[in-house]
Amino acid sequence: MASGDGGLLSASHIVEYPYRRSTGPVMGRFFAALRDRRFEGVKTARGRVLVPPTEYDPQTGEAADEMVPVGPGGVVTTWAWVSHPRAKHPLNHPFAWALIQLDGADTAMLHAVDTGVESAMQTGMRVTPRWRAQTVGSINDVACFEPEGTS
Amino acid sequence: MAELCGVVGIGQTQHDAKRTDVSAPGLLREAATRALEDAQLTWSDIDAVVIGKAPDMFEGVMMPEIAMGDALGAAGKPILRVHTAGSVGGSTAVVAASLIQAGIHDRVLTVAYEKQSESNAMWALTIKIPFQQAIVAGAGGYFAPLIRAYMARSKAPEDTGIRVALKDRLNALKNPYAHLKIPGVDFDQVANSPMLWDPIRYLETCPSSDGACAMVLSSEKAAESAPTRPAWVWSTAMKSEPTMFSGRDQVNPQAGKDCAAELYKKAGITNPRKEIDAAEIYVPFSWFEPMWMENLGFAEEGLGWEMTYEGATALDGDLPVNCSGGVLSSNPIGASGMLRFAEAAMQVRGQAGEHQVEGARKALGHAYGGGSQFFAMWIVGSEKP
């Protein structure tokens, strides 16, 4: 027990427990594809391809379960430059957070883009994923995106 | 004068220890889809969604309902969540019904769920918060002393709880959705199961389940096009009281007695034991059947155990209780209360299959939560009030 304001007692309270998540058939396939260094989206009944996929069309509520390959390249639709990366950021040098619309997708998803310098970032630029050497089935299996033709 | 409310669609999942085949939204979607199919309606027919689950700490997702709107077809509609601990499934249905009774909506989808495999409710109920009284033993540790107190007061035979558990476990064998099914279960198997929290044995306690329940509630006018007979809501009631205060009777809580009294008064019921044909009562530990029989006014104080002992609460008794197998057989906590309400509605709609009470015309659904401090109840009937 520690002493708080005015000598009244306070105490820290740390709650820890390992929770578990079931991804379900749609997100589960999305993550499994990442492990294989591929992207998959879901096609809704109205023909829109959502990436990352959702189990249900957010507008109509209809179930969406037709998985379709997308990417691996895509287009930056908007971005924000990070001049001073923090410890938990995906890159330890300046980079951009960007919304990336993968080829074949109708929606954009958030990821990091490594151009080295801000002047190389442009809305509309084409990017491709840089995969990690080890993949586990996580969005972080993509280390970041980089301008097409970089490597 | 309130509008009439009818239950026109009911759905529940296959309850199991681990539904790892579905996400949490997928789990409640399964129940909701079945309720819509039962009502022969589509997502676009629904005006509003009312959702309930137990405290967020049970799965570690804060306010999960705000990410479930798509799974519940709620885009462009009101969605709201009800919180009343373990009674939430019942309270959620009561709130949903009130939206119909108030004339605000014609069709409301109400859903409740829990995915216990993603967490550990025992742990979530065991947190030691600085400067507060510790429960430190999950729900069983909290309720076992209340059961001991009931046994001392009532002088009920020691094996009453075993008889309740055996009845509910045999009933569960007739319910295709029940989680815990023990073919060939008998008195000795229950009696010889390990003592978890004296006097509660392993087979006298509820399982941890993944599951969901959903109902489509309808106004009288909208129910005219219902494909099957609705269950009509005759009355609803909710009451609460603080967990701890001096003089509180946790064995026979005043809030429960008041809730039942209001419920019967609104429904015009003067002799509940005679007028109600089936009851689905929240019994997570066997001994709560006789305790709630008294709290609900089905038996005089101290005599609830006689109903169990004489077989009055069996499927062929004069007041069948938990014909579905009850919470002892399926316990997706947030949904457990709504399952009681839905099973009551299934009885008066004649939908309960092998665990149907022949000719049930009025049924009671009951849920309690917290430290026996939140109560939600409804009475549904085959006829309009």
What residues does each domain of chain B span?
Answer: 5-119+208-225
The count of CB pairs under 8 A between chains A and B is 73
Q: Which site among A22, A42, A50, A57 would you substitute to test the B interface, given the most B Cβ atoms closer than 10 Å to its Cβ? A: A22
Asked if the model's pLDDT at residue B163 lies above 60, the reply is: yes
Asked if the model's pLDDT at residue B256 lies above 80, the reply is: yes
**pLDDT of B117:** 92
Tell me the pLDDT band of B96, cut-offs 50, 70 and 90.
very high
**pLDDT of B136:** 60
Cβ-based contacts of A17 with chain B (< 8 Å): 60, 119-120, 123-124
**pLDDT of A66:** 96
**pLDDT of A151:** 64
Tell me the pLDDT band of A59, cut-offs 50, 70 and 90.
confident
Asked if the model's pLDDT at residue A3 lies above 70, the reply is: no
pLDDT by residue (tens digit) across B299-347?
999 999 999 999 999 999 999 999 999 999 999 999 999 999 999 999 9
Of residues B23, B24, B75, nearest to A58 (C-beta): B75
Please state the φ and ψ torsions of residue A76, each to the nearest 5 degrees: -75, 125
Question: Taking an 8 Å Cβ-Cβ cutoff, which residues of chain A contact chain B?
Answer: 1, 9-13, 15, 17, 19-27, 54-63
Q: How far is CA B165 from the centre of its chain?
A: 16
The CA-atom distances, in angstroms, between A36 and each of A29, A33, A43, A59, B155 are 11, 5, 20, 30, 65
CA atoms within 13 A on the CB side of B89: 32
Max CA distance (Å), chain B:
57
Closest CA to B150 of B19, B321, B279, B290: B290
Whether the bond into B199 is cis, omega within 30 of 0: yes
Cβ-based contacts of B20 with chain A (< 8 Å): 22
Closest CA to B336 of B376, B289, B299, B294: B376
- Long-range CB contacts for residues B246-252, cutoff 8 Å, separation at least 24: B250/B146, B250/B149, B250/B371, B250/B372, B251/B146, B251/B149, B251/B150, B251/B153, B251/B291, B252/B291, B252/B294, B252/B295, B252/B301
**pLDDT of B122:** 77
Question: Taking an 8 Å Cβ-Cβ cutoff, which residues of chain B contact chain A?
Answer: 19-26, 29, 43, 57, 59-60, 69-75, 115, 117-120, 123-124, 127, 129-131
Structural tokens at position A94: 């300046």
Of residues B26, B70, B119, nearest to A58 (C-beta): B70
Structural tokens at position B148: 């001991």
The more confident residue out of A89 and A150 is A89
Q: What is the pLDDT averaged over residues B175-182?
A: 98
Asked if the model's pLDDT at residue B175 lies above 80, the reply is: yes
Q: What is the pLDDT averaged over residues B241-269?
A: 95
Asked if the model's pLDDT at residue A93 lies above 80, the reply is: yes
Q: In what order do the strands lie in the sheet with A39-43?
A: A49-50, A39-43, A66-70
Q: Does domain B5-119+208-225 have CATH number 3.40.47.10?
A: yes
Measured between CA atoms, how close is B53 to chain A, in angstroms?
17
- Mean pLDDT score across all residues of chain A: 93
Asked if the model's pLDDT at residue B92 lies above 60, the reply is: yes
Tell me the pLDDT band of B127, cut-offs 50, 70 and 90.
confident
Give the separation between CA A24 and CA B215, rounded to whole angstroms: 23
Domain boundaries of chain A, sorted by first residue: 24-147
Cβ-based contacts of A11 with chain B (< 8 Å): 130-131
Of residues A15, A23, A63, nearest to B23 (C-beta): A23
Tell me the pLDDT band of A4, cut-offs 50, 70 and 90.
low
Q: Do A60 and B29 touch (CB under 8 A)?
A: no
Please state the φ and ψ torsions of residue B137, each to the nearest 5 degrees: -155, 25
Asked if the model's pLDDT at residue B58 lies above 90, the reply is: no
Q: Are B139 and B331 in contact (CB under 8 A)?
A: no
The CA-atom distances, in angstroms, between B187 and each of A105, B11, B233, B324 are 60, 32, 37, 19
Closest CA to A109 of A52, A35, A28: A52
The amino acid at B266:
K
Q: Are A56 and A66 in contact (CB under 8 A)?
A: no
Q: Do B25 and A61 touch (CB under 8 A)?
A: no
Of residues A9, A20, A24, nearest to B22 (C-beta): A24
pLDDT by residue (tens digit) across A130-139?
999 999 999 9
Close Cβ partners of A63 (under 8 Å, ≥ 6 residues apart):
A55, A56, A57, B29
**pLDDT of A2:** 57
Asked if the model's pLDDT at residue B369 lies above 80, the reply is: yes
ipTM of predicted assembly, 2 dp: 0.79
The CA-atom distances, in angstroms, between B233 and each of B80, B88, B367, B382 are 21, 18, 16, 9
Of residues A15, A19, A25, nearest to B59 (C-beta): A19
The amino acid at B284:
P
